[in-house]
C-alpha cells in the first residue's frame, strides 16, 4: 500500500496526529494536497454518470464534463508540476508532498479513474442509450448499406483534406496539435518512391465532427451514430495506395497549455499574449492516450517520440477524445432524457419595461442565478447605452461570452452613443485569452477606453459602475457579483448579483476602478473588502471574532461557501476556531486542503461538496457575530485569489437579503441528494437520505422557490 495512503488512513492514530494540548498546526498530516483534492472533485463529477437519478443524457454530459476537466488538469496542473521538476523549482505545500510524489499519486488515481470512465461509458451508458434508440454503431455490425455510405463519406469528406505523414529520415515525427485526434498506422511495402515505410501518422481533419449521424433510412428507428475514428480505421488503406495496412490505432497527445508570459518588463501585454497563444497548441507533452489494442512496440515508439514514460501513458477502451461527443445530447431530440427546461424568475420592479435605474434607486436587489434571471444586469447596460442621462459606464470583464455577448454589444452601443465607457478586460482569463483580445479590439474601435488591469495581478472581481446625471447631480449605480458577465454561464452556474445605489458602496467601487485604471496608493474602503489589500486580513479578523464570541460564552458559527479552500493561513485560522469550539460549516465545491474531524484540531468542522445540475459558483460567507453577518465575494479562499488577484467582497446589509442567503446556505447544509461529505482521510462519501428522510436537493429546492419548471 502507498505510504501516503497509509498515513492518511491512520489519521486518528497518535502517530499521525499531534494530540497534545497545543498541536502544531504546521503538521503536514493536517493538510490535503491540492492536486489530489482537485482530482477528488473530478471523480465526484464522474460519479454523476452512474447516478440514475439524473436523466440519461445528462449522465452522458457529466462523463464528458469529467473528460474536459481532466484535460485541463493535465494541461495546467500536471504540466506545472512537471515543469517545476524539470527546472528544479520544486516546492512543497503545507501537506509536505514533493512534486515527484504528487505526480506518482496523480498517475495512480487518474489511471484508476479513467478506467472507471470507460467502463461507465461502455458497460452502462452506451447500452442504456441503445435501449432509448440512441446507438453508436461498431464497424463489425455495419450493414452493407451502412458500410457503403461510410465509404462514400470517407471519399467525399475525409480523403480530400486528410494529410497522412510517413515517418522516415526526411519526415520525422510531426509536431501534433494539442488534444488532436491522430492515428498511427503500421505499414508494409514500398511507396511510389521506393521507400520502405514502417509507420505513418494520420491527423484526423479538425474541421470534421468526431461523431457522424447516419441518414435515418439506413438505421433502426431512432438516432444512429458512427465514430469518425471507426470510419478512418475501416478505410485507412485508401490513404496508402499500393501498401498494406497492418494496423491502425488512434492516439492523442495532451500538452502544456499554460501561457508563459514574462510579466517583468513587458511592454505590451496584448501583443505578448498574441505571440504565446499559438504556442499553447504545441507545448511540452504531458499525457499520451492510446487505444488499448495498440501493440506494445507502437506504444513505446509513440512514448519515445513525445518524450513521455509509462507513467504518462493512458490506454483506453474507446475514443481518445470523448469531449467531442458533447454534440450528441444536442443533436438528438429527446427532451425526456434531459433536465426539464425552466424559466428564471424576475423580481418585481426589474421587468424589461421598467426603468431599472428607478427601481434600484428605491431599494437594493439581490439575485441568485440561474434561479433568477440574469437579464436585469444586461438590461441595465442596454438602458444605460440609450439613456441620455447616463454619462459613464465602467466594467470589469473576465469572461463575458465574447463578441456575441449581449452585454458587450450594449457596451459598444454605449460607447458609440458618446458615453464614457471604460472596460477593464482581463486578457489572462485562462482559455479565453484569444476571445478577450478580440473583445478588447472591438471595444476600442467603438471608442471605449480599454485597460488590462495591473501586471502581476489578475482582475477577477465582477463589478460595474454606472454614472447618471439626475437633478443636476451625478448619481452612481453599481452591480457586484460572484460570477462572470456571461449570460450563458448565468444559466449554468449558481451566482449572486447585487444591484445597488448605496452611495458608500458605490464610492468604494469607484476607488477600485481608480486603482485599476490609474496610479496611486490603495485608498481605504468603507464597506468593500478587496484583494490583494484587505480581504484576507479582514476574513481572518472575522474568524477571530467568532473565536472571541465563543470564549466569552456566546455561540460562534461560521459558514463559508466557495469553490476552493487552499490558503494555509485561512485554514489555520479555521483550525484555531474549531479548537475554541466554534461551529464551522464549509460548503466547498472543489479543492479543499483542510481535513475535518481531526481530534483536537478540527472536531467542529464539516466539509461538504455539492455536485448537481448547475455548477456551484457562489461565494458567500456567514459570521454569526459580525456587524454584517453575510458577505458575497468574487474570491475563493485560495492563495491566488487572496494574494495575487484583484477581488471584491461586499457585505449584504439588508436584513431581508442577509436572512435569505443564510436560509439558502442552510438548504445546502441539509442537502441529502447531491452532497458529498469530506472525511478525515481525504475521501468523500455521498450524503444519502436515510430511510425515514425525504430526499432534498438544494438546487432542486431553489428551482421550486424561484424558477418555473417546464416553461
Residue 102 has pLDDT above 90, yes or no: yes
Q: What is the pLDDT of residue 11?
A: 41
Angle at 38 between CA 34 and CA 39, to 5 degrees: 120
Classify residue 547 by burial, with Cβ atoms within 10 Å: 0-12, 13-18, 19+.
buried
Binding residues: 69, 399, 430, 493, 589, 617
pLDDT category of residue 136 using cuts at 50, 70 and 90: very high
Binding residues for ATP: 69, 493, 589, 617
Beta bridge partners of 481: 462, 497
| 173 within 8 A of 287, measured Cβ to Cβ | no
| 672 within 8 A of 338, measured Cβ to Cβ | no
Q: What is the pLDDT of residue 689?
A: 77
* CA atoms lying within 13 Å on the CB side of residue 691: 0
pLDDT tens track for 439-498: 888 899 999 999 987 878 888 999 999 999 999 999 999 999 999 888 888 999 999 999
Could you tell me which of 13, 21, 14 has the C-alpha nearest to residue 600?
21
| 430 within 8 A of 398, measured Cβ to Cβ | no
pLDDT tens track for 389-425: 999 999 999 877 766 788 889 999 999 999 999 999 8
Q: What is the pLDDT of residue 356?
A: 93
Q: What is the pLDDT of residue 212?
A: 95
Q: Cα–Cα distance between 543 and 531 in angstroms, integer?
A: 17
Place of cell 515543469: 83
In the chain, the domains with their CATH numbers are 140-260+285-337 (3.30.1840.10), 342-521 (3.30.870.10), 530-709 (3.30.870.10)
Angle between helices 34-47 and 56-72 (to 10 degrees): 160
Mean pLDDT of the chain: 90
pLDDT tens track for 630-687: 999 999 999 999 999 999 999 999 999 999 999 999 999 999 999 999 999 999 999 9
Q: What is the pLDDT of residue 190?
A: 74
| 135 within 8 A of 224, measured Cβ to Cβ | yes
Q: What is the pLDDT of residue 498?
A: 98
| 625 within 8 A of 549, measured Cβ to Cβ | yes
Residue 583 has pLDDT above 90, yes or no: yes
- Relative to beta strand 390-397, strand 420-425 is parallel
Question: What is the pTM assigned to this prediction?
Answer: 0.91
Q: What is the pLDDT of residue 349?
A: 82
pLDDT category of residue 118 using cuts at 50, 70 and 90: very high
Q: What is the pLDDT of residue 170?
A: 66
Q: What is the pLDDT of residue 399?
A: 78
Grid cell, residue 574, equals 479555521
Angle between helices 406-416 and 375-386 (to 10 degrees): 10
Q: Cα–Cα distance between 500 and 442 in angstroms, integer?
A: 29
Question: What phi, psi does 218 have (nearest 5°)?
Answer: -95, -5
Q: What is the pLDDT of residue 4?
A: 41
DSSP assigned state of 73? I
Q: What is the pLDDT of residue 454?
A: 81
Angle between helices 99-119 and 56-72 (to 10 degrees): 160
| 478 within 8 A of 447, measured Cβ to Cβ | no
Other Cβ atoms less than 10 A from the Cβ of 474: the count is: 11
Task: Enumerate the active-site residues.
Answer: 460
| 318 within 8 A of 122, measured Cβ to Cβ | yes
Binding residues for Mg(2+): 399, 430
Amino acid at each position: 500500500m502507498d505510504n501516503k495512503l497509509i498515513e492518511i488512513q491512520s489519521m486518528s492514530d497518535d502517530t499521525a496526529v499531534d494530540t497534545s494540548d497545543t498541536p502544531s498546526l504546521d503538521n503536514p498530516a493536517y493538510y490535503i494536497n491540492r492536486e489530489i483534492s482537485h482530482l477528488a472533485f473530478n471523480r465526484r463529477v464522474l460519479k454523476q454518470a452512474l447516478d440514475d437519478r439524473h436523466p440519461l443524457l445528462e449522465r452522458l454530459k457529466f462523463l464528458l464534463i469529467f473528460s474536459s476537466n481532466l484535460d485541463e488538469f493535465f494541461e495546467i496542473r500536471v504540466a506545472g508540476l512537471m515543469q517545476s521538476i524539470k527546472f528544479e523549482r520544486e516546492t512543497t505545500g503545507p501537506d509536505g508532498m514533493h512534486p515527484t510524489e504528487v505526480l506518482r499519486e496523480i498517475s495512480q488515481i487518474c489511471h484508476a479513474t479513467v478506467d472507471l470512465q470507460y467502463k461507465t461509458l461502455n458497460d452502462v451508458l452506451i447500452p442504456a442509450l441503445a435501449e432509448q434508440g440512441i446507438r453508436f454503431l461498431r464497424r463489425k455490425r455495419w450493414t452493407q448499406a451502412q458500410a457503403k455510405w461510410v465509404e462514400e463519406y470517407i471519399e467525399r469528406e475525409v480523403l480530400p483534406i486528410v494529410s497522412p505523414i510517413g515517418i522516415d529520415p526526411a519526415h520525422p515525427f510531426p509536431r501534433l496539435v494539442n488534444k488532436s485526434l491522430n492515428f498511427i498506422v503500421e505499414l508494409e511495402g514500398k511507396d511510389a518512391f521506393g521507400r520502405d515505410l514502417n509507420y505513418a501518422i494520420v491527423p484526423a481533419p479538425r474541421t470534421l465532427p468526431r461523431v457522424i449521424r447516419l441518414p435515418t433510412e439506413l438505421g433502426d428507428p431512432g438516432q444512429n451514430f458512427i465514430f469518425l475514428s471507426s470510419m478512418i480505421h475501416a478505410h485507412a488503406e485508401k490513404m496508402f495506395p499500393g501498401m498494406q495496412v497492418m494496423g491502425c490505432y488512434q492516439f492523442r497527445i495532451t500538452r502544456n497549455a499554460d501561457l508563459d508570459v514574462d510579466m517583468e518588463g513587458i511592454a505590451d501585454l496584448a501583443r505578448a499574449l498574441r505571440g504565446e497563444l499559438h504556442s499553447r497548441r504545441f507545448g511540452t507533452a504531458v499525457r499520451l492516450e492510446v487505444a488499448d489494442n495498440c501493440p506494445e512496440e507502437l506504444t513505446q515508439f509513440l512514448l519515445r517520440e513525445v518524450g513521455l514514460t509509462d507513467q504518462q501513458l493512458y490506454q483506453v477502451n474507446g475514443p481518445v477524445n470523448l469531449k467531442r461527443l458533447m454534440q450528441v445530447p444536442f443533436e438528438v431530440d429527446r427532451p425526456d432524457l434531459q433536465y426539464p427546461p425552466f424559466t428564471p424568475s424576475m423580481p418585481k420592479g426589474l421587468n424589461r419595461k421598467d426603468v431599472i435605474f428607478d427601481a434600484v434607486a428605491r431599494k437594493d436587489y439581490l439575485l441568485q442565478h440561474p434561479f433568477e434571471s440574469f437579464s436585469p444586469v444586461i438590461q441595465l447596460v442596454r438602458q444605460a447605452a440609450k439613456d441620455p442621462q447616463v454619462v459613464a459606464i465602467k466594467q470589469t470583464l473576465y469572461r463575458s461570452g465574447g463578441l456575441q455577448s449581449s452585454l458587450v454589444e450594449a457596451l459598444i452601443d454605449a460607447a458609440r452613443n458618446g458615453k464614457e465607457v471604460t472596460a477593464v478586460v482581463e486578457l489572462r482569463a485562462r482559455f479565453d485569452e484569444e476571445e478577450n483580445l478580440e473583445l478588447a479590439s472591438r471595444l476600442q474601435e467603438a471608442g471605449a477606453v480599454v485597460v488590462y488591469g495591473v501586471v502581476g495581478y489578475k482582475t477577477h472581481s465582477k463589478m460595474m459602475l454606472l454614472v447618471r446625471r439626475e437633478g443636476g447631480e451625478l448619481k452612481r449605480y453599481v452591480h457586484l457579483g460572484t460570477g462572470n458577465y456571461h449570460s450563458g454561464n448565468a444559466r449554468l452556474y449558481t451566482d449572486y448579483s447585487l444591484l445597488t445605489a448605496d452611495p458608500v458602496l458605490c464610492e468604494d467601487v469607484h476607488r477600485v476602478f481608480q486603482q485599476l485604471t490609474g496610479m496611486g496608493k490603495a485608498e481605504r474602503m468603507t464597506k468593500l473588502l478587496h484583494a490583494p489589500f484587505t480581504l484576507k486580513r479582514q476574513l481572518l479578523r472575522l474568524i477571530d471574532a467568532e473565536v472571541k464570541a465563543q470564549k466569552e460564552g456566546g455561540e460562534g458559527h461560521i459558514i463559508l461557501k466557495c469553490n476552493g479552500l487552499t490558503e494555509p493561513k485561512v485554514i489555520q485560522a479555521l483550525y484555531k476556531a474549531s479548537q475554541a469550539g466554534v461551529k464551522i460549516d464549509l460548503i466547498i465545491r472543489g479543492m479543499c486542503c483542510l481535513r475535518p474531524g481531526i481530534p483536537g484540531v478540527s472536531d467542529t468542522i464539516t466539509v461538504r461538496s455539492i455536485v448537481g445540475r448547475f455548477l456551484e459558483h457562489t461565494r458567500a460567507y456567514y459570521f454569526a457575530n459580525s456587524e454584517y453577518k453575510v458577505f458575497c465575494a468574487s474570491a475563493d479562499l485560495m492563495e491566488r485569489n487572496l494574494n495575487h488577484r484583484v477581488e471584491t467582497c461586499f457585505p449584504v446589509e439588508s436584513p431581508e437579503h442577509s436572512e435569505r442567503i443564510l436560509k439558502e446556505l442552510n438548504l445546502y447544509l441539509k442537502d441529502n441528494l447531491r452532497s458529498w461529505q469530506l472525511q478525515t482521510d481525504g475521501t468523500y462519501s455521498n450524503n444519502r437520505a436515510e430511510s425515514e428522510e425525504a430526499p432534498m436537493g438544494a438546487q432542486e429546492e431553489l428551482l421550486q422557490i424561484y424558477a418555473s419548471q417546464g416553461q
